[in-house]
Amino acid sequence: MTNRSWLLASGALCVLLYAPGLFGQFTFDSVTSLVRNQALDFDPSSFQGWVNAIYSSTAGPLGRLLSMFTFALSHALFGQSALVEKSINLGIHLATAYALYRWLSLLLSRAPALRMDESAASRYAFFAALLWLLNPLQVSTVLYAVQRMEQLSALFVVCGLWFYTRQRCRWLQRGADAEELSRTLLGVLLFALAAIFSKEDGILLFGLLALVEGLLFEGRYAGQVQRRVVYVATAACLLPALGILLLAAIEPDWLMQRYSWRSETPSERLLTQARVLWHYVGWFYWPDVSRMSLFHDDIALSRGWLAPWTTALAVFAWLAVVAASLALLKRSRLPSFCVGFFLITHALESTIVPLDLVYEHRSYLGNIGLALILVATAGHYLPRAAWKPAVALVTLVMSACLLWRSVLWGDELRLYEAQLRHHPQSERTVYYYANLRMRMADEVDDETLAREHVLAARRYFQYLLTLDPMHFPALATLMYIDGRWFAGLPDGGWYEQLLNASRERPMEPSDHNALDLLVRCILAAYCQVPEPRLLELLESLAQRYPQDPRYPLLLARYFGETGRDLARAVQFTRRGIAVSPGSATAYYQLAGWRVAQGQRAEAAGAIGETLRRDMSMQSLLRASEGLR
């Protein structure tokens, strides 16, 4: 078979293995970012509708505009469809694998530090791309619709590396004129911008380019070695980590404010990430589907070097890996390149930036380094005759595991039940499984079946409290369940536990959704909470987090949506505005209360303030509904 035939066969195999998972539902962040995103339900003939949709993401500081454009385009063409979104993701996965094969083929055969013969380079590139393409660890990126952001960023990074490598190979002997250098710089910047506006970690393209230049091209230009290029490239590889440290030094308050709602400190996060990186390596090389999951919050936090003891082991193991790769530099640059590639791709999300500790999709791009080093090691130690049986065996195992995981992702209930079986200590798995059963109760007409779902949900929310007695969302949801479905039950003491939790634990983003549910439950008269007790809860949170406008705005909703005290609704909304003057949300809420009071001039003023603060005009559109 020709290379083209092998590529087509690999792509077809990948599509067949992923096919069962394409028919699954939207899950987790895909629901909030896509399904509940009203801006994506727009008139395609409206320019403003496109603007609203593209600017509708709240993820990341740059809004991930390019990714949101693809979601807006698919929604305009096909409507809201999980099948369509996941199919597009699969197409991006295939395109990235093809670009990866072409880039590695060129890099391995032409880079001065490697200089493989073209046949060996093509073979190594193909098997590395195949291993990356079919690895079941990638499922939680490809079939997790909203992670198109991660995929697009990875695609543009790989294409940027391929483009730079092509240009760089031409300059080895003949150099380049100013025009060619300018075109190359422009091309790299365009790929970098596309990657960054897909997801912010696309900025790591510059670190990877520096790694390629310094380690594999060795500063060779126009037949000579330019040592200054090597030194600059080596320093540039450290820029992502140095940039984060510089940010922490210049803006420590910014960093610590974001840690205020997290349960770990920056040092604890760094220690934990040493173990997490080994988890990524283990999941890639040992594809046990039962160990993989959408959530890994059951991985213990490292509170110190020996708590747990594997923390010190993980840190020293990474130091040993880096030392070994440096020691091998004179013999082979490839191991150092693969290790460097993996570590650079984790330089943002696996260091001190206060994000959730573990997600499999964070290693989507970095898995390229893991695939290549495995193929290179096998190529060095395996005899030529053993290559085909080894590749066939690995492909068979990977394919079976990929198919198994794809089938699980083909049904949300099946997915969460499998995760619950293998990760019973994962609070998020338990919580989202219980939430799924609540959703299923709302979707069925049979009262008996609905009650069975609610009972199952209630049981798992109670189980969640055995894992974390102060789990805020579980307590709020149990109040809602008992108030709506089991009003005759004795008071479970959920509200008292909520009050204690609000005083003793940091508030996380999911806790604010729980507070919103609690207020809606009270407004619907399911939850019987006296007004002074609700004020006690929200006022105490407002005092703990004086820079967060959400607590006074929730109180404003409580007083305003029932019309019980519009003056107090305005008062609390103004408190929210005082805390966060740039909040468009607070101003459109204020406009609503002013409309309800009949004060249309003040409402129009609030809408004007909304427009000044919300460039996408989504808040303005919502606020103006009250004036129609």
Q: What's the pLDDT score for residue 254? A: 64
Q: Which two tokens stand for residue 287?
A: 């594809």
Give long-range contacts, CB 8 A cutoff, 24+ apart: 522-525. 522/558, 523/557, 523/558, 523/561, 523/562, 524/484
The pLDDT-based confidence of 617 (bands split at 50, 70, 90) is: very low
The answer to whether residues 510 and 479 touch, using CB atoms and an 8 Å cutoff, is no
Q: What helix, strand, coil percent values describe the chain, rounded to 5? A: 75, 0, 25
| pLDDT reading at 628 higher than 50 | no
Q: What's the pLDDT score for residue 620? A: 45
| pLDDT reading at 232 higher than 70 | no
Q: How far from 121 is each of 107, 116, 129, 234, 353, CA to CA, in Å?
A: 8, 6, 12, 25, 37
| pLDDT reading at 593 higher than 90 | no
| Residue pointed to by tokens 């710089």 | 185
User: What is the average pLDDT across 125-152?
Assistant: 97
Domain formed by 426-545, architecture: Alpha Horseshoe (1.25)
The candidate with the shortest Cα–Cα distance to 505, out of 554, 533, 544, is 544
Q: What's the pLDDT score for residue 359? A: 96
The pLDDT-based confidence of 625 (bands split at 50, 70, 90) is: very low
User: What is the average pLDDT across 449-477?
Assistant: 94
The pLDDT-based confidence of 478 (bands split at 50, 70, 90) is: very high
| pLDDT reading at 304 higher than 70 | yes
Cβ atoms < 10 Å from Cβ of 319? 11
pLDDT tens profile 570-585: 899 898 888 888 777 8
User: What is the average pLDDT across 43-67?
Assistant: 90
pLDDT tens profile 414-439: 999 999 999 999 999 999 999 999 99
Numbered ranges of CATH 1.25.40 in the chain: 426-545, 563-628
The amino acid sitting at 66 is L
The candidate with the shortest Cα–Cα distance to 58, out of 42, 41, 39, 74, is 39
pLDDT tens profile 443-454: 998 989 999 999
- The strand pairing partners of 477, in sequence order, are none
| pLDDT reading at 555 higher than 80 | yes
Q: Which two tokens stand for residue 383?
A: 């005899």
> Residue 63: CB partners within 8 Å, gap ≥ 6?
54, 55, 57
Q: What is the chain's mean pLDDT, rounded?
A: 89
What is the distance between the terminal CA atoms of the chain, rounded to a whole angstrom? Answer: 67
Q: How far from 322 is each of 209, 234, 317, 341, 448, CA to CA, in Å?
A: 19, 15, 9, 12, 60
- How many Cα atoms within 13 Å fall on the side-chain side of residue 484? 21
Q: What's the pLDDT score for residue 602? A: 79
Higher pLDDT: 305 or 230? It is 305
pLDDT tens profile 182-216: 898 899 999 999 999 999 999 999 989 989 988 99
Q: How many angstroms separate the CA atoms of 402 and 50, rounded?
A: 36
Q: What's the pLDDT score for residue 230? A: 65
- How many Cα atoms within 13 Å fall on the side-chain side of residue 416? 20
Q: Which two tokens stand for residue 274?
A: 């040493």
User: What is the average pLDDT across 319-342?
Assistant: 93
- For residues 300-309, one letter each, b for 16 or more C-beta atoms within 10 angstroms of the residue's C-beta and e for the rest, the string is ebbeeeeebe
CATH class given for the domain over 563-628: mainly alpha
pLDDT cut 90: percent of the chain above it? 54
The pLDDT-based confidence of 619 (bands split at 50, 70, 90) is: very low
pLDDT tens profile 395-406: 999 999 999 999
The pLDDT-based confidence of 253 (bands split at 50, 70, 90) is: low
User: What is the average pLDDT across 343-353?
Assistant: 90
Q: What's the pLDDT score for residue 204? A: 93
Higher pLDDT: 144 or 615? It is 144
The pLDDT-based confidence of 622 (bands split at 50, 70, 90) is: very low
Q: What's the pLDDT score for residue 107? A: 96
Quickly list DSSP for 56-71.
Answer: ---SSTTTTHHHHHHH
The pLDDT-based confidence of 231 (bands split at 50, 70, 90) is: low
pLDDT tens profile 498-550: 889 888 888 887 888 889 999 989 888 888 888 888 888 888 888 888 888 88
The answer to whether residues 458 and 494 touch, using CB atoms and an 8 Å cutoff, is no
- Give Cα 28 distance to the centre of its chain: 11
> Residue 58: CB partners within 8 Å, gap ≥ 6?
none
The candidate with the shortest Cα–Cα distance to 27, out of 404, 413, 289, is 413
